[in-house]
Amino acid sequence: MTERSPGFSTLAIHAGAQPDSTTGARITPIYQTASYIFNDAEYAASLFGLQSFGNIYTRLTNPTTAVLEERVAALEGGTAAVATASGHAAQLLAFHALLQPGDEFIAARQLYGGSINQFNHAFKNFGWNVIWADADNTSSFQSVVTPKTKAIFVESIANPGGTITDIEHVASIARQAGVPLIVDNTLASPYLVKPIDHGADIVIHSMTKFLGGHGNSLGGIVVDAGTFDWSRDGRYPMLSEPRAEYHGIKFQETFGNFAFAVAVRVLSLCDLGPVISPFNSFQILTGIETLALRMQRHCDNAKAVAEWLSQQPAVSWVSYAGLHGDRYNNLARKYAPKGAGAVFTFGLKGGYDAGRNLVSKVSLFSHLANVGDTRSLIIHPASTTHSQLTDTQKVQAGAGPEVVRLSIGLEDKEDLIADLEQALAE
């Protein structure tokens, strides 16, 4: 009899967790501690030398966080994961393990505004240079590959424009270039899209969003697919060359298909320090248990609201891949057959001023800079999340002056529509 593989909801509740061996507690406890007792000097030395795995200090590992990491890795189909303080921290650590000063990476210009800003400005302090491509024209990634290219970065569902990326095509370009494909899967969650199944080598999340789902805790995570050979052609010395700080260990040679995750933990997280708190790990773990139920309701509500908006005279367009006739509908059917997510944009005929006025008139929707909450959220990106970009960059990112972004929550859809109706009327 073949062994049955657990389903998604079973993994979301059980992966990585066991009842506490000391107390019998069924829920993973919050191990609110900075450090841990070593059994003896020999064991301590083996931990610090990476000969053994265990707890040293919560900047490196924590038992609560370890359950979270194993659970997200299981849901994404990866070999290992490293949790971080935020989604931005996850991006920083992933690139830190890959890039040297002067290196380049290619990114889709259809990204969250904070990521565009991080890539354009903060990363330059490390000597890392971003080259922009167009997710609507995936061949554009191939045209900008150079010998300095060390990675390709896309979002599975882009924030805020709702672009569905053709992950398989971009993955084939990455393989031809000999570089890893990094996919930010925040807006989709592994319930809707499994990037590793389509060729991604690394998956990143802002767990603040749909994984946690309740707007109460910051967190990020890096998932190693275990699919990339970091030792070939010497392009990734942090993974292929001997590390002096660990007595000459070569990470790819020693750790195999979870080498990248180990490097992110001990070379990046340990030294740069953006660690998630055990309490936030606990909160996000609790959120993940209901991920499948929440995401389906998010998607069903979002489709209903998008269909209603598309019929309103004050609305010039609605960009939601779940709508028949949307330019991304075919890609959504391929990559996200359960639903096109909960975040989408629409354009108001009144332009910039109409967008700012609308967010001031709603009452049930919360006007704030977040997505992925149980509550429905609204924002005018051009004046907030994407305000640091040029006008051209705003349009390219799907955040033009007339754009309003919605993150549809779990309320009754009739109430959401009624709130938008009264706001549009005013």
| Range of the structural domain that residue 300 is part of | 292-425
Top-confidence residue, 92 or 369: 92
Handedness of CA 81, 86, 92, 93 (dihedral sign): negative
Q: Which tokens belong to 322? A: 């779940």
**Shared-domain flag, residues 142 and 248:** yes
Percentage of the chain lying above the pLDDT 70 cut: 100
Q: Which tokens belong to 301? A: 């509500």
**Shared-domain flag, residues 267 and 122:** yes
What CATH number does the domain containing 267 carry? Answer: 3.40.640.10
pLDDT of 300 strictly over 60: yes
Top-confidence residue, 383 or 81: 81
In a domain, 2, yes or no: no
**Shared-domain flag, residues 303 and 282:** no
Top-confidence residue, 391 or 118: 118
In a domain, 181, yes or no: yes
Top-confidence residue, 5 or 341: 341
pLDDT of 66 strictly over 70: yes
pLDDT given at position 2 = 60
Among 271, 287, 303, residue at a domain's last position: 287
pLDDT given at position 26 = 93
For the segment 88-114, the average pLDDT, to the nearest whole number, is 96
For the segment 395-400, the average pLDDT, to the nearest whole number, is 82
- Over the stretch 191-213, which tens digit does the pLDDT of each residue have? 999 999 999 999 999 999 999 99
In a domain, 266, yes or no: yes
The phi, psi pair for 249, rounded to 5°, reads: -60, 135
Among 245, 260, 287, residue at a domain's last position: 287
In a domain, 3, yes or no: no
Helix spans in 162-310 (H): 167-177, 189-192, 237-240, 251-255, 259-263, 270-272, 278-288, 291-309
- Over the stretch 197-254, which tens digit does the pLDDT of each residue have? 999 999 999 999 999 999 999 999 999 999 999 998 889 999 999 999 999 999 999 9
Query: Based on the structure, what is the number of domains in the chain?
Result: 2
The confidence band for 127, taking pLDDT boundaries of 50, 70 and 90, is very high
Mean pLDDT of all residues in the chain?
95
**Shared-domain flag, residues 185 and 249:** yes
**Shared-domain flag, residues 337 and 421:** yes
Rounded to whole angstroms, the Cα distance separating 137 from 372 reads 27
The confidence band for 1, taking pLDDT boundaries of 50, 70 and 90, is very low
pLDDT of 270 strictly over 70: yes
Tell which residue, 231, 171, 192, 209, has the closest CA to residue 90.
209
**Shared-domain flag, residues 252 and 393:** no
Q: Quote the strand ranges of 304-419, DSSP E.
A: 315-319, 343-348, 366-367, 377-379, 403-407
In a domain, 65, yes or no: yes
Rounded to whole angstroms, the Cα distance separating 130 from 122 reads 11
In a domain, 225, yes or no: yes
The confidence band for 113, taking pLDDT boundaries of 50, 70 and 90, is confident
